[in-house]
């Protein structure tokens, strides 16, 4: 369990799991919205894919972002 406190959290720390998971030889990442992306050949490539995804989400107009 990740016990890292995030900015603005003063209460009990919620359960957190990794955004990355492996199925057979393939790696995937999951978003807070429940979207799974992959397969990637390695965890490093999945991490790069997540960085690209987050970059694109930041570029979206506020009304198009999923909350």
Q: Which pLDDT tens digits describe the chain residue by residue (67 residues)?
A: 445 666 666 777 666 678 999 999 999 999 988 899 999 999 999 999 999 999 998 998 876 666 5
Torsion angles phi and psi, residue 22, rounded to 5: -120, 135
- Going from N- to C-terminal start, the domains of the chain cover 20-64
**5 DSSP assignment:** P
**C-beta of residue 37 within 8 angstroms of C-beta of residue 28:** yes
pLDDT of amino acid 1: 43
């Amino acid at each position: 369990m990740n016990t890292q406190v995030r900015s603005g959290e003063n209460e009990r720390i919620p359960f957190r799991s990794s955004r990355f998971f492996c199925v057979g030889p393939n790696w995937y990442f999951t978003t807070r919205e429940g979207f799974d992306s992959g397969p990637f050949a390695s965890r490093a490539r999945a991490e790069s894919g997540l960085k690209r995804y987050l970059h694109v989400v930041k570029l979206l107009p506020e009304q198009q972002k999923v909350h």
